[in-house]
Amino acid sequence: MSKAFTKETEAEADFDDEIPALPAGIKNYITPDGFRRLEDEFAQLQQIERPKIVETVAWAAGNGDRSENGDYIYGKRRLREIDRRLRFLRKRMEIAEIVDPARQKNREQVYFGATVTYRTGHGDEKTVRIVGIDEARSELGEISWISPVAKALLKAAEGDTVEVRTPKGIERIEVLRIGY
């Protein structure tokens, strides 16, 4: 059976390759650590992972029939995924604006890069760090600066109570501590 009838073409697979757009008028702020993580991931993919996959695909292609060759099919798919991620990372790094929280002069208010401890209306204490869109990791308590909680906290001072719009309604949170 012809390749044209068994799977998508490589050109069709790349249609969903577009970089996710940032909300209109939003800059791509990122901390120096976050930018370094993007650079490290880019280098890892480009210098280590991609060459290994290219080598596997070349070896698999030399084995003959490619239509039932799992190493070849998986390798080509993984190569497209890596190339797509490399393009995404390159574009994001090109538009990134690095903001170093350590250089923040006004440490009395919440700004980009701050670590904030707050109390919810239910009495729970939470600590979050406000970071860039591409570096937010919720499992580590890092939230994007455009998230509802971060937007509510920005420019607040210790002791301030701010309102956060959540899916359940509006919640009031009190700023307890700010660190940089």
127 and 61 Cβ atoms separated by less than 8 Å: no
> To which H or E segment does residue 56 belong?
helix 50-61
Helix, coil or strand: residue 83: helix
Same domain, 49 and 77: yes
Q: What is the pLDDT of residue 68?
A: 74
Q: How many domains does the chain have?
A: 2
CATH number, domain containing residue 56: 1.10.287.180
Domain end residue (candidates: 65, 80, 97): 97
Residue 12 falls within a domain, yes or no? Answer: no
Domain containing 142 equals 101-179
Q: What is the pLDDT of residue 12?
A: 45
Q: What is the pLDDT of residue 3?
A: 47
| pLDDT values of the chain reduced to their tens digit, one per residue, 180 residues | 444 444 444 444 444 545 566 777 788 999 999 999 999 999 999 999 999 999 999 988 888 777 778 889 999 999 999 999 999 999 999 999 999 999 999 999 999 999 999 999 889 999 999 999 999 999 999 999 999 999 999 999 999 999 998 888 899 999 999 999
Q: Which residues contact 17 (CB under 8 A, 6 or more apart)?
A: 84, 87
Sheet of 115-119: strands edge to edge? 142-144, 125-131, 115-119, 169-179, 161-166
Residue 9 falls within a domain, yes or no? Answer: no
Residue 105 falls within a domain, yes or no? Answer: yes
